[in-house]
Amino acid sequence: MDDSKPVDQRFTKALPKIELHAHLSGSISRQCLHEIWKRKKEQNPNFDVEDPLVLMPPGKVDYTLETFFSTFSKLTYQLCNDLDNLVYATNSVLEDFLGDGVVYLELRTIPRASPGITREQYINSVLDTMEKFRNKTKRMSVFLILAIDRGSMTAAEADEIVNLAIENKSRGVVGVDICGNPTKGDVSIYKEPFAKAKANGLGITLHFAETTASASASELSTLLSFQPDRLGHVIHVPDAIKKEIARRKLSLELCISCNVHAKMINGGFLNHHFGYWRHEHCPIALCTDDVGFFCSPVSNEYLLAAQHFGLSRTDLLDMCIKSAEAIFASEYYKGRIQGMLEVFATRFDSA
């Protein structure tokens, strides 16, 4: 790579990137939510939900965790509560990642049962949409992670979701996650479902130390006992646990804009713990978390990392090559991503 040239948006957009930490419902653009809202309103003028473009005005990214979680129940889940709109939103999210130069995507979602929709139907709709997308778009590989909502789910529900993940491995489910409001729930109840997931070859990723409330020594050691392959966020981590993460060389999903805008860290971009972890040996994937809220696509996360931490084109390329080690799909896909990065490295400068 020609490091005399700056890292700019053209570079980070063209860079073949992977996205490993993106929540489906949080990744839906405001425009897409607005379109769904408009159709619902036309079908039923009494539809009692405010226009997403009013509730989430363009440019607004300063969601605290509280306003963030309540927006899903107040807005997103009122709009994507039928299979047609779930499919519409999923397609829109896949197109957005593709358009940003993502070549490998593991989207995650909590399979929600809602009136008239079972968890199975929810998962089937998302997987069918992914399959059709794969058939028409060869450039971006897409997989699914099923997430467990720590704020609301019992161990039995987690077990149900793990069973669904196992049943759907052949259709592209590659892992399981624990997400949801980090100030709620007791993660230790998920021990057995996660042992089952591991025994059945699913990848394990966990939201880890997102807030001080979810960063007690006992919670973090419980989560590490689930033998995760990857950790998301890793914000409020005590030194001893940082050492253990580094010792295990766990892969990290870091969400810079989300953490800064939602004030999950103190200070701004320069204070982000990417600055710490980039000197360790853990593979790092920069991720968006919820691009529908924080409006920073993956290409912009790489641009921010370069701008605030002084990274060159070669640094970003090396990070991306290493991040491929973190994916849950087979070795074939690792090779595919790394191959695309090699081609990019030889061709971008001369393009």
Ligand X SMILES: CNc1ncnc2c1ncn2[C@@H]1O[C@H](COP(=O)(O)O)[C@@H](O)[C@H]1O
Catalytic residue (choose from 19, 210, 219, 253): 210
In the complex, least distance from residue 203 CB atom to ligand X, rounded to whole angstroms: 17
CB 327 within 8 A of CB 104: yes
Taking CB under 6 A as the criterion, the residue among 96, 100, 106, 149 binding ligand X is 149
- Judged by CB under 6 A, does residue 207 bind ligand X? yes
Taking CB under 6 A as the criterion, the residue among 15, 20, 24, 237 binding ligand X is 24
Q: Name the token pair of 210.
A: 């997102």
- Give the binding range for ligand X (CB under 6 A) out of 20-28, 89-97, 133-141, 189-197: 20-28
Spatial CA neighbour of 12 closest among 291, 312, 260, 277? 312
Of 26-85, binders to ligand X (CB under 6 A) are 26, 72
Spatial CA neighbour of 205 closest among 148, 262, 277? 148
Taking CB under 6 A as the criterion, the residue among 105, 147, 197, 237 binding ligand X is 147
Give the side-chain half-sphere CA count within 13 A for 205: 30
Is-catalytic flag, 95?
no
Taking CB under 6 A as the criterion, the residue among 16, 180, 185, 297 binding ligand X is 180
Q: Name the token pair of 49.
A: 């939900």
Cα 66 to Cα 11, 72, 112, 154, 298: the distances in Å are 35, 11, 20, 22, 24
In the complex, least distance from residue 180 CB atom to ligand X, rounded to whole angstroms: 4
The span from the CA of 305 to the CA of 256, in Å, is: 8
Q: Name the token pair of 38.
A: 């408009």
Spatial CA neighbour of 321 closest among 334, 302, 303? 334
In the complex, least distance from residue 263 CB atom to ligand X, rounded to whole angstroms: 11
CB of 17 or CB of 21, closer to ligand X: 21
- Judged by CB under 6 A, does residue 179 bind ligand X? yes
- Judged by CB under 6 A, does residue 25 bind ligand X? yes
Rg (CA), the chain: 19
CB of 81 or CB of 163, closer to ligand X: 81
Contact residues toward ligand X (CB under 6 A) are 23-26, 72, 109-110, 147, 149, 179-180, 207, 210, 258, 262, 289-290
* Catalytic residue ranges: 210
